[in-house]
Amino acid sequence: MLNAEKYITTQLVSAVTSDSWRKSGQPLLPLQQPSLPEGYNIYPAHALGNGKIKEGYETLAAWIASHPQVLIDGYTGVFWDEIQDSLAVIFAEKEIRVKWHYTAAAMKDTATADQLVAPFTGEHGAVWGTRTTLQLTDFFDAQKLAEIQPDPAYDVNIVIGIGAALTTWKAPLIYLDIPKNELQYRMRAQTAGNLGTQTMDKPAEMYKRAYFVDWVVLNAHKASIATAISVFADSQWGQTLTWIQSEDLLAGIQHISQDTFRVRPWFEAGAWGGQWMKQHIAGLPQEEVNLAWSFEMIVPENGVLFESDHYLFEIPFEWLMFLQYKAILGKHAGIFQYEFPIRFDFLDTFDGGNLSIQCHPSMDYIREQFGETFTQDETYYILDCKEGAGVYLGFTEDIDPEQFKATLEHSQQQQQQLEITDYVQLHEAKKHDLFLIPNGTVHSAGADNLVLEISATPYIFTFKMYDWVRLGLDGQPRPINIDHAFKNLVFSRKGERVQQELISVPALTQKGADWELWHLPTHEQHFYDVERIELETTVSFETAGRCMILMLVEGTAVAVKTANGKETLYQYAETFVIPAAADHYTLINKGPGTAKVVQAFLKEDHPVFSIISYEKTI
């Protein structure tokens, strides 16, 4: 699908906001919920009721002032100095004497931190690293942390900074968070860096370190303190913030984890990107040269929005898993625990280009080389396409691996185009086709498709072999990974076997008076399955202890009704989740004509599950 190179290209091509602290063509989340569009909503929010979300430093300062000691912990990318300064001004105006204690003073120096992370980030310029085994305490001097003690001469003592909860204080805990997309926009603007270092680097290098080190370490810290937090704060706006008391947020999370929910999507340009999303989704920046990806539900980088009194509050998705993974994943919770296993995203090549010719790593390879739990087995569901669009999938019958590799290397070295169909099959794409891409399969989405990519969650491990001798949006060639690819390619997926094994053949499995359930079988290596529901009016199903991820792929809108009896409306092309704990759900067609809904879910059992389950217990 995608890999870390996208963080190189978008740094240069996205429009710079009027403020220099973030660099992106996507607008900042509105502080208050805008009026709902008629179709696809880029700001889906879950209502909490009145009086739950507070806005501004004044309100937070008032809450802090009612406690003699407070801890303010949070994530990388948070503007700690600005937040401390804003609160300090208010305390001074109210003549509240505050002693500030900074966790940054207890952190190990940059050189030491760089040595700690070096085994996990690989060589400078390499696309990938390895998932770290470090913990947040490894970045701190334990003695200096222990020396942070309250001063009774002050009205309020505050510990502020990453790791504040590591102190021994018995004090209320505030957690300042930031969505992953906004963190990356700040990295591209060189206003946010990595954990443990004061040094800025190229955005691609900072993203790599964030993915393989920072997010692993800080998410584990989040999980360890989740039930101790008193206040959660969303700091993405820079000039202000919104915040919520933990009991109100936890009640909201519990509710949607037993009902239905949708994450906030975000969008990125790319070398091959298209125009479909810009033309069909209201509110997207038209000044972008294209949009290649929609992070519909790539949960390591998505957030969830809540609303109260029109104010918006966003939390990164991992909080839902830390607090409600059993309700969300049901019978598979013991296997995956905090790792949500399935992703949905769009690949838009309408009036764009072909994706690179690529493959993804085997289960053993992704675990040994990159430290991931499971690998990137994908499918392409064709949501829309032009006549003549196609998907590259599988090898030709007479493929010669050595000749293919030599041709690829020559093309890369000499920057010469090659006739890729001499080696890779090109299949016609039609709406609602499902192409199966188990790991090791050579593939690419051709131009003029809108692909709904249904996949296992890993998303950056793409080994490009041929990129059509084009430049990225930064004017530089994109990384080619022929050696990685040839350690993973399955050359037996060729000839007629491709048609037989890698193009799903729908089978009608259930039928009612005005609805049908079609099974779209996946490959035996996929640990998830896909179905399509086609309905005229209504149809009901049970979750059977499984988490269901759905999208309306044809029609105008559908409503979802779960056990609470309330209807939630979803529009065409919106991704939504029905957690296992919802127990049963009814789909109601709200538009003219037949509605078609794709749903993906984990298989009842799969060999991968036993591997993951074993590792979770040791």
pLDDT digits (tens, 9 = 90+) for 452-468: 999 999 999 999 999 99
What's the gap between Cα 88 and its chain centre?
A: 35
List Cα–Cα distances, 375 to 114, 361, 400, 402, 575, in angstroms: 28, 7, 26, 26, 22
Q: What is the pLDDT of residue 36?
A: 82
CATH 2.60.120.10 in the chain: give the residue spans: 323-501, 507-616
Q: What is the pLDDT of residue 564?
A: 86
Report the C-alpha gap between 461 and 126 in whole angstroms: 12
Q: What letter would DSSP give residue 211?
A: I
CATH 3.40.50.300 in the chain: give the residue spans: 57-240
Sequence-distant (6+) residues with CB within 8 A of 40 are 280, 281, 282, 571, 572, 573, 574
Q: In what order do the strands lie in the sheet with 538-542?
A: 538-542, 584-589, 557-561, 567-571
Write down the CATH number for the domain with range 507-616: 2.60.120.10
Report the C-alpha gap between 367 and 362 in whole angstroms: 9
Helix axes 215-225, 318-329, angle to 10 degrees: 70
Residue ranges, the chain, pLDDT below 50: 1-18, 617-618
Helix axes 246-256, 318-329, angle to 10 degrees: 40
Chain position carrying tokens 């502020």: 160
Q: What is the pLDDT of residue 370?
A: 97
Would you call 549 helix, strand, or coil by DSSP? strand
Chain position carrying tokens 């004497």: 97
The answer to whether the CB of 160 falls within 8 A of the CB of 101 is: yes
Pairing of strands 45-47, 303-308: parallel
Q: What is the pLDDT of residue 96?
A: 98
Q: Residue ranges of the alpha helices (H) in 296-439?
A: 318-329, 333-336, 363-370, 401-414
User: H or E segment at 187?
Assistant: helix 180-188
Fold of 57-240: Rossmann fold (3.40.50)
Closest CA to 329 of 582, 104, 70: 582
Take residue 347 and report the two structure tokens written for it. 């690949």
Q: What is the pLDDT of residue 245?
A: 98
Q: Quick count: other Cβ atoms within 10 Å of Cβ 19?
A: 12
Q: What is the pLDDT of residue 37?
A: 82
Residue type, 178: I
Residue 340 backbone dihedrals phi, psi, to 5 degrees? -70, 130
What's the gap between Cα 418 and its chain centre?
A: 34
Q: What letter would DSSP give residue 478?
A: P
Report the C-alpha gap between 476 and 335 in whole angstroms: 42
List Cα–Cα distances, 19 to 24, 189, 238, 241, 474, in angstroms: 11, 10, 10, 16, 22
Q: What letter would DSSP give residue 135?
A: -
Does the domain at 323-501 match CATH 1.20.1440.130? Answer given as no
The answer to whether the CB of 228 falls within 8 A of the CB of 322 is: no
Q: What is the pLDDT of residue 539?
A: 98
